[in-house]
């Protein structure tokens, strides 16, 4: 699917249902506390923050608690596999993102789950785009200038990411694919070391989620080039998008969604969709989520299903292009 139609597709699928407060919950659900499994470490990070905000809001709307359960490991595969094997009774939910759901099936021979076979889409929460930033001394300010520099000096510049196969890495590979430039990938286990190297000029570029790079941009430690999206981020509204800078379709970020084990009753999934849509529409919740860099989406389950199908193909293509493989 061509990238310019990507948001159009999602908007056509995005008519939000009526507020859940007026809806009757399925009989007997939930009968005990629910678990929202986050396949990442607790206490920090965009995913954990968003999940805990959602759980807190669901607690106000349901007779039982929603407990966030952190299950990190293997790029999110450990947590996703745990939910895939959980009883499909409406008490286990997967809070995950594109890296685990769309990238892992291409990166790993056996991630331990199949996103099509093992899960039912419930709701697409939103997307956090990547941003491209450069060392201040590089002397470029626009995407056109950077691309011209890379074409003049193939392989001379290095870019940092949070690791092989990460959203940041695939964003860079999409840029390479679209422009034909050559640059050296430097993956970091801890992205703060990457920023230190960027400040000192050991690497010259970095792709990162906008929330991860915002403090350095605001502090003047790096030069922002573009948000990899078709609309500006509320976190850094002064930074233009790749679409504005003449590269529509150069869009890449991490989207977040909730899924249920395959076979979870349809009325329960529909109720969860209505409840979360209500949270996304609530002004205070929206403000807090946008503060995490989330471009809020919501809508019916089909919206998440369509995006997952698109990105399973798109991410697999980028993984093949980059020659990445994790075991």
Tell me which DSSP letter residue 163 carries: S
Q: What is the pLDDT of residue 19?
A: 39
Residue boundaries of the structural domains of the chain: 3-127+253-322, 129-227
pLDDT digits (tens, 9 = 90+) for 257-306: 999 999 999 999 999 999 999 999 999 999 999 988 999 999 999 999 99
Question: Which H or E element spans position 245?
Answer: none
| Pairwise CA distance, residues 65 & 242, whole Å | 42
- Count CB neighbours of 219 within 10 A: 8
First to last CA, the chain: 29
Its pTM surpasses 0.75: yes
CATH 3.30.450.40 assigned to 129-227: no
| Pairwise CA distance, residues 101 & 80, whole Å | 8
User: 3-127+253-322: which CATH architecture?
Assistant: 3-Layer(aba) Sandwich (3.40)
Q: What is the pLDDT of residue 44?
A: 66
223: helix, coil or strand? Answer: strand
Are 161 and 207 contacting, i.e. CB atoms less than 8 angstroms apart? yes
pLDDT digits (tens, 9 = 90+) for 215-261: 999 999 999 999 999 989 989 999 999 999 999 999 999 999 999 99
Q: How confident is the model at residue 196 (pLDDT cuts 50, 70, 90)?
A: very high
Q: What is the DSSP string of 85-133?
A: TS-SSSSEEEEEEHIIIIIHHHHBS--S--HHHHEEEEEEEEEEEEEEE
pLDDT greater than 80 at residue 22 = no
pLDDT digits (tens, 9 = 90+) for 133-168: 999 999 999 999 999 999 999 999 999 999 999 999
| Pairwise CA distance, residues 197 & 185, whole Å | 13
Question: Which H or E element spans position 286?
Answer: helix 283-291
Domains 3-127+253-322 and 129-227 share a fold: yes
Q: What is the pLDDT of residue 6?
A: 56
């Amino acid at each position: 699917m061509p990238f310019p139609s990507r948001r159009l597709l999602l908007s056509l699928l995005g008519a939000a249902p009526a507020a859940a407060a007026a809806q009757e919950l399925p009989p007997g659900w939930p009968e005990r506390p629910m678990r929202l499994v986050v396949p990442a470490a607790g206490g920090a990070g965009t995913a954990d923050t968003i999940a805990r905000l959602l759980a807190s809001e669901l607690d106000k709307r349901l007779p039982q608690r929603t407990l966030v359960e952190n299950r990190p490991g293997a790029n999110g595969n450990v947590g996703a596999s745990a939910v895939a094997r959980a009883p499909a009774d409406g008490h286990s939910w997967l809070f995950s993102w594109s890296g685990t759901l769309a990238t892992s099936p291409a990166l790993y021979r056996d991630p331990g789950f199949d996103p099509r076979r093992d899960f039912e889409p419930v709701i697409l929460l939103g997307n956090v785009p990547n941003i491209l930033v450069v060392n201040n001394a590089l002397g470029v300010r626009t995407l056109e200038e950077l691309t011209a520099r890379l074409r003049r000096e193939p392989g001379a510049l290095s870019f940092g990411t949070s690791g092989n196969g990460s959203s940041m890495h695939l964003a860079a590979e999409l840029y390479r694919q679209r422009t034909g430039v050559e640059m050296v990938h430097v993956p970091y286990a801890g992205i703060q070391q990457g920023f230190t190297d960027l400040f000192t000029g050991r690497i010259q570029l970095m792709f990162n989620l906008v929330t991860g790079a915002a403090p350095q941009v605001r502090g003047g430690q790096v030069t922002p080039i573009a948000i990899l999206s078709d609309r500006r981020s509320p976190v850094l509204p002064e930074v233009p998008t790749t679409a504005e800078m003449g590269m529509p379709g150069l869009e890449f970020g991490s989207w977040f969604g909730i899924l249920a084990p395959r076979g979870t009753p349809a009325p329960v999934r529909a109720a969860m969709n209505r409840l979360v849509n209500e949270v996304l529409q609530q002004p205070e919740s929206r403000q807090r989520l946008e503060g995490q860099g989330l471009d809020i989406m919501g809508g019916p389950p089909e919206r998440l299903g369509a995006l997952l199908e698109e990105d399973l193909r798109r991410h697999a293509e980028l993984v093949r292009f980059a020659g990445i493989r994790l075991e």
